[in-house]
Structure 1
Amino acid sequence: MKQEKMAVWVAGALLALSSSAFADTVVKIGFASPLSGPQAHYGKDNENAIKMAISDLNASPITVAGQKLKFELVSEDDQADPRIGTQVAQRLVDADVKAVIGHFNSGVSIPASRIYSEAGIPQLSVATNPAYTQSGYKTTFRLVGSDSQIGGALGRFAVMGLKAKNIVVIDDRTAYGQGIADEFIKSLGAMGKQPLKHEYTTDKANDFTAILTSIRALKPDVIFYGGADAQAAPMVKQMKRLGINAKLMGGDMLNTPTFIQLAGVDAAGHYSAVAGGVLGQRAAGKSFEARYKALYKQDIVLLGPQFYDGVMLVADAMKKANSLDRAKFLPLIGKTGYKGVTADFSFDALGNLKNAPVTISEVSNGSWQVKSVAH
């Protein structure tokens, strides 16, 4: 009887050891974006794309150090709020994620970057404010071009493309809005021009009548707005009502279906620039776009594809390092030559994306139409 019990115990132990040997190693990937509030449409787009990346990796598992990996998403809502963003960052650190893809907003990404740096966790963000990579952290990487590139491209397009003479700037005082407005003004200065006026609002405002009335007499050709689509849409409607015929121009947070939906017919003829190339001009990008639409029954909102690339880039670095040790795979992110759906990724010493394209588009016939691509 004792021998039978011993045999059963040994068989059970061997089975357990066998199961353990073939068990997948779980790899947690952190994600943070605004998933509630007025910027939730950006965050949900990012989350949709990152879920696609996790699903793709798990459908064709990679092996690292002899172990098959199973990727798991740890998703957090930072509400586009710097204070909440730092709390979210600490939660992701406590969850022992291997990397963080996020945040979406510069104002959240910048303070969160210190927390990730102290934990040695790589952070791949779409933050465009130049300050994001200027702290010297070895953990920060920018998946798109910076405001310097976007603001510069918009400034040159305003002066040389639109032949604008009277330019006014409005920004919402966020890290994103102020950052891109400042870079736009710098680009004007490089061409010997200055805005006639620089006005300020907030990212919660929706009535710009006082500001617009104050600049109407200047007869602006272009009004540059540093801010998001939820504010830009009522702004163009109020411009129309006040008889201001200027072109509104802004960064990537204007380049959404939401801007067109909210502004209606008044969206036509206004411009935006996105830190990235034309997705459909890359075979992988075109395929991704088709899969995204088929899966979620909607168009890509803005930078979701970059979040997808961020996950894939981290997985590629783990595979090349043959290790899940951050100290070993982190340096390989900085040395990557990964070809993604949005770009051929390589980073400079600060973690900035090299050769980052900027796409300028205009609303025409109810959609954003590409006008030019700059590098």
Structure 2
Amino acid sequence: MDFDFTEKEQAFRAEVKQFIADNLPPPEQRGEDFEKHWHAKLIEKKWIGFSWPKEYGGGGGTLIEQFILKEEMSKALAPDLGSDFMGLTWVGPALIRHGTEEQKKEFLPDLLNCRSSWCTGYSEPDVGSDLGSLKLRAVRDGDDYVINGSKIWTTRAHVARYIFLTVRTNPEAQSRYSGISVLLTPMNTPGIEVRPIVNIVGQHHFNQVFFTDVRVPVSARLGAEGEGWKVVMGALANERSGISESTGMERHLEKLKELARNSQKGGKPALQDAEVRRKLARFETQISAMRLNGLRNLTKQIKGAQPSSETSVNKLLRGILEIPMADLAMSLLGNEASGMGEWQFDALNFHGTVIGGGSPNIQRNIIAERVLGLPKD
């Protein structure tokens, strides 16, 4: 890995910092319409989809410039780069790589201009996030597929306009990873029913989505029939190919350190307690490893390689870290932990991060089979 930045890259970092200083007020000063105006400025700068090719409306930035942009935005506690995280993270890159020109023209402009809202249909009941075992059937009937089955843990399905839907088009395929296809499906298609799953803190992000004789045109398929596994793995790898997992955890760790500075344990500042210091040091070591792993993956991409299964390491580490970090926060709060503040909310609301994009056990299987070459379970 090369940790040195070129003069051009350093100048771009300075440009991003200046933009933030000029346009990003502190969180407590951001009004109701702030994100709308913020996104308008990002659209003007072409910083949404910044590394996408210019011919598709992107900014044409390099991968290292995109890393710089996201890193500085994260440090400044800025909102997401765009209003459709799932669309920009998974759907857009998959469209650029596998979509027809008609599909690109239909969907990419809305993604880049904050007019889209996507959800992703991966996990299923009794299957979880093991995509190779998905059962949602799509049977070819003339120019349509007829879909029956359900998806679960579908984030924001209740507000999404489209679903990036994985279906089983060939149940007789020799490999369980073959015979899967991806359909770009409008959520208002007749036969789709969304039922909410409310979490323990009363929030509604997850849903179960039912499909009953849902007809989707063959033209909505992304990529070739039966090659959906390749499409999805590229999309999921894109989610983890940078260091976004580590930058979020770095910010979380700094807040945890601040809590420790302001807490007491045994009548003394908590930071003087050896066990607290050991736990914080362990967290920092793991998060530093995530950052270095992300930079290694970024280096490979800069050299022309596609994201590999090694990117699952950061997703696994984040899932492993979320719970002990929340536990430490609760112990530092002491009697105050019985209330409901930011830390208590985070401690009860970790499921989305841990489950989303594949649970820790799924990530362990991916690492074991595809990185270490161990036998499949």
TM-score (norm 2): 0.25
TM-score (norm 1): 0.25
